[in-house]
């Protein structure tokens, strides 16, 4: 293999220097406490390649030295002023003194050498490391099925992939009490909850892994490394397979639930379809019934049509009658208007007559002739009563009221009452008639005409006014008896 072939191959397939350095920062949780434990300590990098790791360690305060068998790779290191030598890994380790370096690293080296040399390299690394020092071995991860079956063999210098459990076991077997597998360089989106596909199971596992071994040291020296050694790095095949299976189970569950919903909807649709068929049958039956009703209704409709024609004719006649009635109403309205005019004129004449009568009644001549009109009226009524035979009864009716009033007044005066009773004893018939008049007038009856043995009334006992009334009554009674 020519000197420049492997460098060109690395430049094309390994990636640019900045990308490689960013990936190597995954080891910072481990080399940072080591730099604090051994400031400026020596580091031996086996198979240093283009020197990205040497450059990164230099930036973090270490004194790294690299070895490689490819001159093209070493030239890339020297171009950047990095310390790199042409020698093999085992020779470099054997030339190193015991407990002389803080870290031994081998990036993508173990897949290039036989497995027995890997075992020797691990044993020599344990010897040369300081207490608490680190051994780092990075290699392609055959747990990634695409890497293990295809991309691993892109490098013609690769011998065979080494499974991570095997390399970790060898590290522990060689005498490293603390060791750990770090899976590296997987896609960042696989750490989200985004759904994954089958290709992610095949190609999504961390494409590289590293086995870290730490040499034994006092507990206070190892304490700073506890956290990174307890942290899980990367994604394994079982992680993605289980995640894909759980996702598939959820999809199946959702699919079954969807199928169940579809079946339920289909069943409901079948029920609805059956109900729709029944509804269509009922509608068809209703249509047939309506058709029969229409057949029965045809004669009725014909009669209705005839009646409608007759109604239209009657309506025309009614319209004519209404028009005639409106004309008659107009004529009557005209007559009412004329009558109203005549009534208005009559009311005007009546008002004029009332004014004349009021003026007449208010005149001096009308008041002067009032006695004459009263005598004439009375004479007329007396003649009419005599002609009709009502004179006597009328006189009696008109005199009864004043006579009763007069007798009541006499009865309220004891002395007048005694004189009247004295006179009436002489005329029993008159006494009876006066008694009847008083009874009809609701007056209390006078005592019967009897002589009083103890008292005899005479006109001399009366007052002048009573004597005058006595003489007038006596004259009236004498005139009646003649």
User: So what's the pLDDT on residue 451?
Assistant: 45
Number of domains making up the chain: 2
145-149, 281-285, 464-468, range with the lowest pLDDT:
464-468
Q: Is 298 part of any domain?
A: no
Q: What is the pLDDT of residues 400-429, one digit of tens each?
A: 677 778 778 778 888 778 877 887 787 787
Q: What is the pTM of this model?
A: 0.56
Mean pLDDT of the region 386-408: 70
- 430-458 pLDDT per residue, tens: 778 777 777 776 655 555 544 444 444 45
pLDDT average, residue stretch 141-146: 96
Please say whether the beta carbons of 128 and 101 come within 8 A.
yes
Residue 248, domain member (yes or no): no
**pLDDT, position 271:** 92
**Looking at the domain assignment, is residue 277 inside a domain?**
no
Tell me which of 200, 235, 270 is where a domain ends. 235
Using one digit for the tens of pLDDT, what is the confidence trace for 153-206?
Answer: 998 899 999 999 999 999 999 999 999 999 999 999 999 999 999 999 999 999
Last-in-domain residue among 211, 235, 259? 235
Q: Of 73, 47, 65, 72, give the one whose Cα is nearest residue 101.
A: 65
Question: 35, 60 in Cβ contact below 8 A?
Answer: yes
Q: Which domain holds residue 417?
A: 392-481
Whether the CB-CB separation of 77 and 140 falls below 8 Å is answered with no
Considering the domain boundaries, does residue 183 fall inside one? yes
What percentage of the chain has pLDDT greater than the value 70?
A: 85
Asked if residue 338 is part of any domain, the answer here is: no
Residue 411 lies in a domain: yes
pLDDT at 50: 93
Decide if pLDDT at 308 tops 60: yes
* Final residue of a structural domain among 175, 205, 235: 235
């Amino acid at each position: 293999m020519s000197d420049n072939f492997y460098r060109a191959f690395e430049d094309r397939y390994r990636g640019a220097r900045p990308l490689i350095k960013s990936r190597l920062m995954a080891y910072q949780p481990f080399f940072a406490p080591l730099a604090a434990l051994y400031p400026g300590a020596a580091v031996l990098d086996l198979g240093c390649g283009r020197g990205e790791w040497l450059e990164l360690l230099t930036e973090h305060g270490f004194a790294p030295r690299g070895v490689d068998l490819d001159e093209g790779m070493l030239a890339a290191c020297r171009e950047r002023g990095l310390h790199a030598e042409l020698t093999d890994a085992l020779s470099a380790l054997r030339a190193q003194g015991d407990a002389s370096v803080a870290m031994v690293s081998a990036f993508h080296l173990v897949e290039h050498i036989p497995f027995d040399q890997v075992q020797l390299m691990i044993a020599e690394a344990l010897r040369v490391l300081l207490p608490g020092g680190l051994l780092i071995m990075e290699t392609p991860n055959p747990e990634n099925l695409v890497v293990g079956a295809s991309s691993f063999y892109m490098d013609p210098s690769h011998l065979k992939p080494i499974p991570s459990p095997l390399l970790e076991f060898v590290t522990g077997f060689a005498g490293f009490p603390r060791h750990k597998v770090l899976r590296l360089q997987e896609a960042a989106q696989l750490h989200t909850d985004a759904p994954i596909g089958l290709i992610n199971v095949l190609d999504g596992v961390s494409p590289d892994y590293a086995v870290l071994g730490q040499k034994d040291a006092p507990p206070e020296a190892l304490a700073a490394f506890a956290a990174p050694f307890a942290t899980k790095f990367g994604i394994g095949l079982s992680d993605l397979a289980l995640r894909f299976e759980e996702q598939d189970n959820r999809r199946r569950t959702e699919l079954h639930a969807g199928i169940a919903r579809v079946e339920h909807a289909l069943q409901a649709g079948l029920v609805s379809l059956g109900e729709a068929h029944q509804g269509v049958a009922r509608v068809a039956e209703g249509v047939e019934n309506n058709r029969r009703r229409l057949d029965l209704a045809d004669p009725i409709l014909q009669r209705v049509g005839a009646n409608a024609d007759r109604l239209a004719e009657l309506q025309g006649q009614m319209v004519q009658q209404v028009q005639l009635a409106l004309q008659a109403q107009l004529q009557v309205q005209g007559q009412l208007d004329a009558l109203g005019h005549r009534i208005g004129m009559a009311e005007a004449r009546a008002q004029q007559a009332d004014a004349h009568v009021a003026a007449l009644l208010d005149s001096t001549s009308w008041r002067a002739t009032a006695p004459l009109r009263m005598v004439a009226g009375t004479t007329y009524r007396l003649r009419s009563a005599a002609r009709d035979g009502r004179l006597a009864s009328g006189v009696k009716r008109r005199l009864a009221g004043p006579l009763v009033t007069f007798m009541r007044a006499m009865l309220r005066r004891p002395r007048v009452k005694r004189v009247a009773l004295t006179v009436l004893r002489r005329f029993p018939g008159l006494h009876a008639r006066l008694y009847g008049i008083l009874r009809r007038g609701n007056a209390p009856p006078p005592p019967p005409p009897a002589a009083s043995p103890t008292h005899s009334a005479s006109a001399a006992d009366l007052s002048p006014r009573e004597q005058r009334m006595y003489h007038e009554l006596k004259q009236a009674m004498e005139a009646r008896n003649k």
